[in-house]
Amino acid sequence: MTVATLPIERPAGRLRQLVASGIGPILAVVLAIIVGGVVVLVSGSNPITAYQQMLVGAVGSPFDISETFISSIPLILAAYAVSFAFRCGLFNIGAEGQLYMGAIASTWLATTFPNWPGIVLIIVCIVAAMVAGGAWAGIAGWLKAKTGAHEVITTMMLSYVAIDISHWLLEAGPMTPSNAYGTPESGPIPPQAAFPIILPSWILPNARLNASLFLTILAGVVFAWILWRTPLGYEIRAVGFNPKAAAYGGINVARRLVIAMVIAGAFAGLAGMVPVWVQMRLYDSFSPGYGYEAIAVALVGRNSAIGIFLAGLLYGAMIHGAVAMQANANISGFLVQILQALVLFFVGAEMLIRWLLRRGGLRALVEAPA
Amino acid sequence: MTAVAPGDTSLPAGVATPHLEMRGITKSFGTLLANDHVNLDVRDREIHAVVGENGAGKTTLMNILYGLIHPDEGEILIDGNPVRIRGPRDAIAAGIGMVHQHFQLVPVMSVAENVVLGQEPGGIRLDRAAAVRQVRDLSERFGLIVDPSARVETLPVGIQQRVELLKILYRGSRLLVFDEPTAVLTPQETDELFEILRGLVGGGKTVILITHKLNEVMAISERVTVLRQGRNAGVLATAHTSPPEIARAMVGREVLLRVERDEAHLGDERLRLEGVRADSDRGLQALAGIDLAVRSGEIVGIAGVSGNGQLELAEAIAGLRPITAGHIYLQGTDVGTQPAAARRANGLAYIPEDRHARGLVLPFEVKDNLILGSQSRPPFAVRGQRNSAAVDQRAEALVRQFDIRPPNPDAPASSLSGGNQQKVVVARELAEDPRVMVAAEPTRGLDVGATEFIHRELIQKRDEGLAILLISSELDEIFSLSDTIAVIYQGRIVEAMPSATADRERIGLLMAGGAAETALPTATQIAEAAAALGSSDVAGGSPHGEGVA
């Protein structure tokens, strides 16, 4: 070859890429706060007070910080379930059901074998939660691979099945303890199987934040590791972007679809176990819709491990902060739902954000190289 | 209109004002200067070709002419009068019409309805009869034979293109712009299109033809404007130029249009197909018993009008399409039922005909695309983990060896030009030191520079002993690369012959379904075959089974 070759370029653009991918969601949050403030103003209250109370309520004290984390963790884990499937091109709308299955399986084990040593029991429960969530999601994956049944339908329908199984089990079924006074709930999780509390009692006597935080961080690491550091993750992403090219590359697309769903469901299963291990009991309808809000968290977090962690914390802070805002500023907690919706709206309205950035002279950040 | 615009120096005295003049057109996208003071003048009733490599600025220039893009600088004159074109509406008003590469038709509507869309005859109620009548008049006047009441989706591609053309004629356009019109056409349809173009010019129209196929430039145009990297690289009179000269202007250096090829040194048989049958995506039989053999050091070219089973043949060999009968032997092993990965491991490489749909994961980085197919094998995967160092190492080596630009292995494949994307595919497929390669349309949509590069690469590998099955709808490519030419028609190899003794006419006839062994086909047979040629998606099935009832 007589063609002169150019030197290999490796622009040190990783950091800039990271900033560029984060700037959209951050701007979306800012816009949501502004528009939300207008909503508060219109409804006759002071937005500054509202946000101040929300902020104080979310992170104003060690207790509130601990509670904010508790609100965030199931969202983060469930969002990993949504995102992992999405990386394989699957819309896992049914993290809610997978999360219920995880909660049921782990609770059943913990209440059935209350005398096992704590360390054994908790590990067995973690595994059981992941297996149950994974299997539940795996059904949808298998149906997709075998018959082409769309996962949006199947995961959604399987969610109803899982939730109703939990109603049956807890309201008059095998998991209702004999001494229950009509309250639909499971027996207690044996105390030796609890996650250790993170904050020492001299900082905060009644802190509930436990080691599931580390489990969540670990889950994020595993999420990213599988996707970016293993051939399996490569294949899952290849299937997600272009199944025809993946098949061409010798990848068994059907098998990858099932595996991706199973791994996704395992994250959701964990998400279901953690709240049970905070309340130390499985209550009927224990999830306020973690699995559904997780879809928003996954979107705002741009399907990345770190992004989802941060987005989950934000959503958790809004949820917990709303309690104080409602009590102290006398503003309806629905503002929080409006805010969450606005954040999502502005993340979705990416074109709008890009246009605003261009207006603001930040052209370099938004324009892809030609 | 004989008024000469003041300051017009681009033409010698005595020549009439050009019909269209674009002066000093400049347009930048970010840092990329797509058009840098480009000039174009097109005479009245001329067929004027605009050529250039991918990314030379042809499409930008035409989009500016049609008002889809606004230039940073420059002016447009029609018959010497400056015009302002703010959008396609202005362009149409100025008598400019464009036949896009991707048709802008409503498939479920009839020809007449498509043609009059936007300017329907009748009041509130569409006067269908009037529309049909007007369209029939128009098509008869310009010799464009189309049934005005046929539904567009049932028509072959070549006929759909006529509908596009009728649309702009209906709007009274005088200047007709064709963007790569032959990319979707069979050789016969191309000839017919050229006939139509000549007729249009005879009828007072002016034609701009955007292309990168030099033989078309030579066949049809009177003058050719060459663009290179966004700038003018010359205006040549076709009668006084040659393909090498145009190619040199396009690329900026000498280009070998025909790769030099030594005598083939044939070795052992590497690929053998016996009675292979397979179905198309629609479930129709696409391969009706293919027998074929490729030896080491040989390039076997499959010539045929696209849609005669080529795609299915390639995919059947690659393991991406189940075969319903027959055997596929890869280096002596029957791999007919093995999955794609196993065949790859057994030395098979495949350049798919559609790099976007099959060959690349576009959002992936170049380096990730360069290991597709090898991702879970050492050295790229070690103990279930990705070996990033090995991935980087391969990427850098291949980027350098194949001169992939930009030379950045971390760039997403989607950001590369078509030619460089194809280089990524070819580089990857050759990297595993394959024994057999299926190369389907390896240079589709590529400019002369990239085509030359890939042709040389294939010839070199063939000289090193690779067995190559080349599938191409470009007869020129088949002739310039193949040692053996096999003609495929309706899922069968109708004849195979050494390329040295192959006759172009005869191959064209065979491609059109002219019977091989029997006497020469009758005129009606040829006409029927020509009609069937168009229905390119009726893969292997009866040519009359679908389409117009």
Residues of chain A above pLDDT 70, percent: 89
User: Does residue A63 lie within any of the structural domains?
Assistant: no
Is B381 in CB contact (< 8 Å) with chain A? yes
Identify the contact set of chain A against chain B, taking CB-CB distances under 8 A.
1, 3, 5-11, 13, 228-235, 237-238, 241-242, 244-252, 367-370
Is B379 in CB contact (< 8 Å) with chain A? no
Q: Tell me: pLDDT of B543 over 90.
A: no
CA B535 – CA B186 distance, rounded (Å): 10
**What is the reported pLDDT for A16?**
66
Is B378 in CB contact (< 8 Å) with chain A? no
Task: Give B413's contacts (C-beta < 8 A, 6+ positions apart).
Answer: B360, B361, B362, B363, B364, B365, B366, B369, B421, B424
Contact A252 B362 (CB under 8 A): no
User: Does residue A365 lie within any of the structural domains?
Assistant: no
More confident residue, B190 or A360: B190
Contact B415 A368 (CB under 8 A): yes
CA B481 – CA B18 distance, rounded (Å): 42
Q: Tell me: pLDDT of A192 over 80.
A: yes
Q: State pLDDT tens for residues A13-69.
A: 566 666 767 777 888 888 888 998 998 899 888 889 888 999 999 999 989 999 999
- Give the rounded distance of the alpha carbon of A188 from its chain centre: 26
- How far does the CA of residue B297 sit from the closest CA of chain A (Å)? 21
Mutate to test the interface with B, among A1, A8, A256, A362 (most CBs of B within 10 A): A8
* Residue A9 banded pLDDT, cuts 50, 70, 90: low
Is B362 in CB contact (< 8 Å) with chain A? yes
| Mean pLDDT of the region A262-266 | 98
DSSP character at residue A285: T
> A344-358, B131-145, B427-441, B528-542: which range is least confident on average?
B528-542
More confident residue, B367 or B119: B367
Upper half-sphere CA count for residue B265 (Cβ side, 13 Å): 9
Mutate to test the interface with B, among A248, A302, A365, A367 (most CBs of B within 10 A): A248
Which chain A residues are closer than 8 Å to B31 by Cβ?
Answer: 370
Q: Helix, strand, or coil here: A6?
A: coil
Contact B368 A250 (CB under 8 A): no
- How far does the CA of residue B466 sit from the closest CA of chain A (Å)? 19
| Mean pLDDT of the region A120-135 | 97
Count of domains for chain A: 1
- Chain A residue with minimum CA distance to B377: A231
For chain B, give the number of residues. 549
Is B411 in CB contact (< 8 Å) with chain A? yes
Contact A248 B358 (CB under 8 A): yes
- Chain B residue with minimum CA distance to A9: B408
* Residue A259 banded pLDDT, cuts 50, 70, 90: very high
Q: List the single residue in A242, A250, A367 with the smallest CB-CB distance to B341.
A: A250
**CB neighbours of residue B203 within 10 Å:** 12
Contact A5 B410 (CB under 8 A): no
| Mean pLDDT of the region B362-381 | 93
- Chain B residue with minimum CA distance to A227: B386
Mutate to test the interface with B, among A228, A242, A253 (most CBs of B within 10 A): A242
Would you call A119 exposed, middle or buried from its count of C-beta atoms within 10 A (0-12, 13-18, 19+)? exposed
- How far does the CA of residue A35 sit from the closest CA of chain B (Å)? 32
- How far does the CA of residue B341 sit from the closest CA of chain A (Å)? 4
What counts of helices (H) and strands (E) characterise chain B? Answer: 17, 22
Q: State pLDDT tens for residues A226-239.
A: 999 999 999 999 99
- How far does the CA of residue A245 sit from the closest CA of chain B (Å)? 4
SS3 of B295-349: the string is ECCCEEEEECCCCCCHHHHHHHHHCCCCEEEEEEEECCEECCCCCHHHHHHCCEE
Query: How many CB pairs lie under 8 A apart between chains A and B?
Result: 109
Q: State pLDDT tens for residues A316-342.
A: 999 999 888 888 888 877 888 888 888
Nearest residue to A72 (alpha-carbon basis) of A340, A314, A330: A314
| Mean pLDDT of the region B109-124 | 84
Q: Determine the Cα angle at A113 with ends A108 and A118, to 5°.
A: 105
Q: Tell me: pLDDT of B31 over 90.
A: no
Q: How far is CA A274 from CA A33, A269, A317, in A?
A: 30, 9, 17
**What is the reported pLDDT for B22?**
94
**What is the reported pLDDT for A361?**
57
Q: Tell me: pLDDT of B518 over 70.
A: no
User: Does residue A252 lie within any of the structural domains?
Assistant: yes
- How far does the CA of residue B48 sit from the closest CA of chain A (Å)? 29
Q: How far is CA A4 from CA B34, B404, B418, B511, in A?
A: 23, 11, 20, 41
Q: Helix, strand, or coil here: B498?
A: strand
Q: List the single residue in B358, B400, B410 with the smallest CB-CB distance to A244.
A: B358
* Residue B8 banded pLDDT, cuts 50, 70, 90: very low
| One-letter amino acid of B49 | A
User: Does residue A358 lie within any of the structural domains?
Assistant: no
Instruction: Give DSSP secondary structure letters for B144-179.
Output: ----TTSBGGGS-HHHHHHHHHHHHHHTT-SEEEEE
- Chain A residue with minimum CA distance to B338: A250
Name residues 18-57 of chain B within 8 A of A (Cβ).
Answer: 29-32
> A31-40, B131-140, B189-198, B516-525: which range is least confident on average?
B516-525
> A269-273, A277-281, B256-260, B280-284: which range is least confident on average?
B256-260
* Structural domain range at position A163: 79-177+185-195+209-295
**What is the reported pLDDT for A68?**
95
Contact A233 B386 (CB under 8 A): yes
DSSP β-bridge partners for residue B333: B330
User: Does residue A268 lie within any of the structural domains?
Assistant: yes
Contact A232 B384 (CB under 8 A): yes
Q: Average pLDDT, whole number, for chain A? A: 88
Which chain A residues are closer than 8 Å to B30 by Cβ?
Answer: 367, 369-370
User: Does residue A34 lie within any of the structural domains?
Assistant: no
- How far does the CA of residue B50 sit from the closest CA of chain A (Å)? 23
- Chain B residue with minimum CA distance to A368: B415
Mutate to test the interface with B, among A10, A16, A234 (most CBs of B within 10 A): A234
Contact predicate B196/B164, CB 8 Å? no
- How far does the CA of residue B394 sit from the closest CA of chain A (Å)? 12
Which chain B residues are closer than 8 Å to A229 by Cβ?
Answer: 385-386, 388
Contact B400 A369 (CB under 8 A): no
> B389-398, B420-429, B522-531: which range is least confident on average?
B522-531
User: Does residue A218 lie within any of the structural domains?
Assistant: yes
Contact A369 B320 (CB under 8 A): no
Instruction: Give DSSP secondary structure letters for B99-117.
Output: E-SS----TTSBHHHHHHT
Residues of chain B above pLDDT 70, percent: 90
- How far does the CA of residue A18 sit from the closest CA of chain B (Å)? 14
- How far does the CA of residue A211 sit from the closest CA of chain B (Å)? 28
Is B383 in CB contact (< 8 Å) with chain A? no
| Mean pLDDT of the region B175-194 | 83
Q: List the single residue in A233, A245, A368 with the smallest CB-CB distance to B361.
A: A245
Is B267 in CB contact (< 8 Å) with chain A? no
| Mean pLDDT of the region B420-438 | 94
Which chain A residues are closer than 8 Å to B373 by Cβ?
Answer: 248-250
Upper half-sphere CA count for residue A275 (Cβ side, 13 Å): 28
| Mean pLDDT of the region B146-170 | 87
Q: Tell me: pLDDT of A2 over 50.
A: no
Q: State pLDDT tens for residues B438-466.
A: 999 998 877 788 888 899 999 999 999 99
* Residue B544 banded pLDDT, cuts 50, 70, 90: very low
Mutate to test the interface with A, among B361, B393, B394 (most CBs of A within 10 A): B361
DSSP β-bridge partners for residue B463: none
Contact B384 A230 (CB under 8 A): yes
Q: Tell me: pLDDT of A362 over 60.
A: no
Which chain A residues are closer than 8 Å to B381 by Cβ?
Answer: 230-231
| Mean pLDDT of the region B148-171 | 87
**What is the reported pLDDT for A191?**
93
CA B549 – CA A114 distance, rounded (Å): 75
| Mean pLDDT of the region B327-351 | 94
Upper half-sphere CA count for residue A21 (Cβ side, 13 Å): 15
| Mean pLDDT of the region A147-170 | 95
Q: Tell me: pLDDT of B359 over 80.
A: yes
Q: Tell me: pLDDT of B516 over 50.
A: no
Q: List the single residue in B341, B350, B400 with the smallest CB-CB distance to A5.
A: B400
Q: Tell me: pLDDT of B380 over 90.
A: yes
CA A189 – CA A193 distance, rounded (Å): 7
Q: Average pLDDT, whole number, for chain B? A: 85
Q: List the single residue in B373, B396, B401 with the smallest CB-CB distance to A249.
A: B373
Q: State pLDDT tens for residues A99-116.
A: 999 999 999 999 999 999
Contact B407 A5 (CB under 8 A): yes
Task: Give A351's contacts (C-beta < 8 A, 6+ positions apart).
Answer: none
**What is the reported pLDDT for B415?**
84
User: Does residue A157 lie within any of the structural domains?
Assistant: yes
Which chain A residues are closer than 8 Å to B368 by Cβ?
Answer: 234
* Residue B2 banded pLDDT, cuts 50, 70, 90: very low
Q: Where are the beta strands (DSSP E) in chain A?
A: 185-188, 281-283
> A167-176, A234-243, B35-44, B511-520: which range is least confident on average?
B511-520
Strands B231-237 and B223-228: antiparallel
- Chain B residue with minimum CA distance to A13: B410
Contact predicate B539/B286, CB 8 Å? yes
